[in-house]
């Protein structure tokens, strides 16, 4: 191949690559605009439904029979849940953009912060949580704090009745990744759901038994993708779940 032809091919490939990057940027912008418009257009009428139903109940609730009261409770609960879902979707979509540069932080401190945010739930459940000495690493400190909060909250929530949660956080590393493992003694995850639970608005159990929207693990997955990592779940011995995830050591500030 002549030098001239090789140069022409390189230029052509560079142009094609620039074109693909531009198309991806446009698709990303369209997606973010779509999420904003849909969430805004849906959130407004939901707030109206909730507000007007509260006004009606406050003015005429004393005259309602039991059936009518149940109907208004369903309206209120449904609109509240729909609003929570829209807010969760907006939070998830914000993870697609990262304005903050990656910084160095101590993971012991962010886990302590996550536990502090969950203090009332930890006290309520009587949970026992042990944590190994964790590394200083590079990443988005706010996002990684949210990651640990979601996973530990998940372990606290999905428990059998009257069971006191026992949760462990451990770590190891290799040349390219920090590896973390969070185990619990909860209800576990069936093998056929180990992929599904990381998808948006997907749940492994009924919301009637366990509260939640099915967004926490999807957020965890998205954060790990931003940190060039991944996550999987398996049975923790004979009871509970073991979430194993990794975060790249060498992260570019893109």
Q: What is the largest CA-CA distance in the chain?
A: 90
* pLDDT tier at 4, thresholds 50, 70, 90: low
* Third-level CATH fold of 103-248: Heat Shock Protein 90 (3.30.565)
The 10s digit of each residue's pLDDT in 187-218 is 888 788 878 888 876 666 656 666 666 678 88
**Residue 178: enclosing H or E segment and its boundaries?**
strand 177-183
- Do 198 and 154 meet the contact criterion of CB atoms below 8 Å apart? no
- 230: helix, coil or strand? strand
Distance from C-alpha of 87 to C-alpha of 82, rounded to nearest angstrom: 9
Contacts 24+ apart (CB under 8 A), 154-158: 154/216, 154/217, 154/243, 155/182, 155/183, 155/184, 155/186, 155/240, 155/241, 156/118, 156/121, 156/122, 156/125, 156/127, 157/121, 157/210, 157/211, 157/212, 158/184, 158/186, 158/187, 158/205, 158/210, 158/241
Task: Give the mean pLDDT of the chain.
Answer: 81
Among 93, 89, 155, smallest CA distance to 121 is for 155
Q: Token pair of 36, please?
A: 């904003």
The 10s digit of each residue's pLDDT in 26-49 is 666 666 666 666 666 666 777 777
Contacts 24+ apart (CB under 8 A), 84-91: 84/213, 85/201, 85/213, 85/215, 86/39, 86/42, 86/43, 86/46, 87/39, 88/213, 88/215, 89/35, 89/39, 89/200, 89/215, 90/35, 90/36, 90/39, 91/215, 91/219
The 10s digit of each residue's pLDDT in 227-242 is 999 999 887 767 888 9
* pLDDT tier at 131, thresholds 50, 70, 90: very high
- What is residue 96's predicted lDDT score, i.e. its pLDDT? 67
Cβ atoms < 10 Å from Cβ of 1: 6
Q: Token pair of 130, please?
A: 């042990």
- What is residue 31's predicted lDDT score, i.e. its pLDDT? 60
């Amino acid at each position: 191949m002549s030098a001239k032809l090789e140069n022409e091919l390189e230029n052509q490939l560079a142009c094609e690559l620039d074109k693909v990057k531009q198309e991806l940027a446009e698709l990303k912008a369209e997606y973010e605009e779509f999420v904003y418009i849909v969430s805004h257009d849906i959130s407004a009428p939901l707030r109206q439904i909730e507000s007007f139903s509260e006004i009606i109940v406050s003015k005429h609730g004393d005259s309602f029979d039991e059936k009518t009261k149940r109907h208004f409770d369903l309206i209120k609960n449904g609109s509240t849940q729909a609003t929570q879902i829209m807010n969760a979707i907006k939070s998830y979509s914000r993870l697609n953009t990262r304005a903050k540069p990656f910084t160095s932080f101590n993971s012991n401190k962010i886990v302590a912060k996550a536990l502090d945010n969950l203090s009332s739930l930890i006290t309520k459940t009587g949970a026992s949580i042990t944590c190994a000495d964790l590394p200083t690493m590079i990443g988005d400190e706010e996002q990684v704090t949210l990651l640990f909060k979601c996973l530990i909250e998940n372990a606290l929530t999905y428990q059998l009745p009257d069971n006191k949660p026992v949760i462990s956080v451990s770590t190891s590393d290799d040349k390219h990744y920090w590896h973390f493992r969070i185990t619990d003694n909860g209800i576990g995850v069936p093998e056929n759901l180990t992929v599904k639970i990381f998808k948006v608005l997907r749940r492994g159990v009924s919301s009637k038994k366990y509260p939640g929207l099915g967004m926490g693990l999807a957020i965890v997955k998205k954060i790990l993708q931003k940190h060039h990592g991944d996550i999987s779940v398996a049975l923790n011995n004979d009871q509970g779940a073991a979430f194993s995830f990794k975060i790249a050591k060498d992260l570019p500030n893109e």
